[in-house]
Amino acid sequence: MGLFGKFFGALKKTKDNFSEKLRVLFSKNKLGDEFYEELEELLISSDVSVSTAEEVVNRVKEQAIDEKLRDPEYVTGLLRRILIDILEESEVEPPQYPCVIMLVGVNGVGKTTTVGKLAHYFLTQKKTVTVAAADTFRAAASEQLSIWAERAKVRIVKHEEGSDPSAVIFDAVSSAKAKGTDVVIVDTAGRLHVKENLMNELRKMDRVVTREYPEADFLKLLVLDATTGQNAVNQARVFDEAVELDGIVLTKLDGTAKGGFVFSLAQELGLPVLFAGVGEKMDDLEFFDSKSFVEAIL
């Protein structure tokens, strides 16, 4: 099953939730300001932030033809085009090689699992991969990553528990340069975005890669649990201020009935979703496609 099919399956809850609310809105048969206010409320109830919901509705107003607002297909098509535009405005090109991908985020969002799935993804793209176990604080974190590395059949660089994470990254980058590895994927310890000392540690790791491997395409991706809701935007804002994020990896997309914060990430922070996890299997993570995502929820 391709990504488009996986999106449809994973986002069924979101589609059912949003489509039902749209149906109710159209059934009221109200035009003008009241219609737009309720459309904005609908978006907000689907975890689109207030400012992004206002932006979407303003764009609908600009393009709408009043006499066609009674036509659900017309309004849905218009809304679909606007939402795709918002996502595409922040899109970036796929990684260039060699590249280093550092995953950051709070505890429990699935970073280590995502490392394994990303490794598998790049192997399917015929790239060589090394993973770096820079989560040296969580008990057995490197062992867990080792299991994923073994499943994905990629090399792992790790140190003892409690080691300096930046030293792990230094060794991984040095090894990748020596061996001509295409992709280095770095697992980092989960951290609360309000802990400044932990954010400083991320900045140190950032500097190591920038200094030691300037020729690599360096992507700092925030792993977000799709069930987080609008708080995801707040998390992204703080991590972005700390390390200048390049994008987002969404996990547990199949577990949410909302997911509207994806549009807020793009519209407010200019952060695209690069990869999305749509299941538990090794191959259930793919490069994100804006049109497929919007089609799947509308």
User: What is the per-residue pLDDT for 257?
Assistant: 55
- Tell me the range of 64-78, 210-224, 243-257, 268-282 where mean pLDDT is highest: 210-224
- Looking at the predicted structure, is the pLDDT value of residue 17 above 90? no
- Looking at the predicted structure, is the pLDDT value of residue 194 above 60? no
d(CA 187, CA 165): 10
What's the average model confidence in pLDDT over 149-166?
Answer: 90
d(CA 60, CA 39): 10
Q: What is the pTM of this model?
A: 0.89
pLDDT in tens, 89-148: 998 888 899 999 999 998 888 888 899 999 999 999 999 999 999 988 877 888 888 988
User: What is the per-residue pLDDT for 1?
Assistant: 46
- Looking at the predicted structure, is the pLDDT value of residue 4 above 60? no
Model confidence at 31, in pLDDT bands (50, 70, 90)? low
What's the average model confidence in pLDDT over 222-243?
Answer: 88
- Per-residue tokens: 64: 């709408």
| Percentage of the residues of the chain whose pLDDT score is greater than 90 | 44
Select the more confidently predicted residue: 55 or 107: 55
pLDDT in tens, 159-193: 988 889 999 999 999 999 999 999 999 999 887 65
| Contact criterion met (CB below 8 Å) for 154 and 129 | yes
The closest of 298, 293, 287 to 4, measured between CA atoms, is 293
d(CA 116, CA 126): 16
Q: Which of 15-19, 43-47, 213-217 has the lowest mean pLDDT?
A: 15-19
Tokens 């994923």 sit at which residue? 148
User: What is the per-residue pLDDT for 51?
Assistant: 93
Residue type, 179: K
The chain-wide mean pLDDT, for the chain, equals: 86
DSSP state letters, 7-71: HHHHTHHHHHHHHHHHHHHHHTT--THHHHHHHHHHHHHTT--HHHHHHHHHHHHHH--GGGTT-
Tokens 């190591």 sit at which residue? 208
User: What is the per-residue pLDDT for 6?
Assistant: 64
User: Is residue 179 exposed (0-12), middle (13-18) or buried (19+ Cβ within 10 Å)?
Assistant: exposed
User: What is the per-residue pLDDT for 90?
Assistant: 92
What's the average model confidence in pLDDT over 220-247?
Answer: 89
User: What is the per-residue pLDDT for 58?
Assistant: 92
| Contact criterion met (CB below 8 Å) for 291 and 8 | no
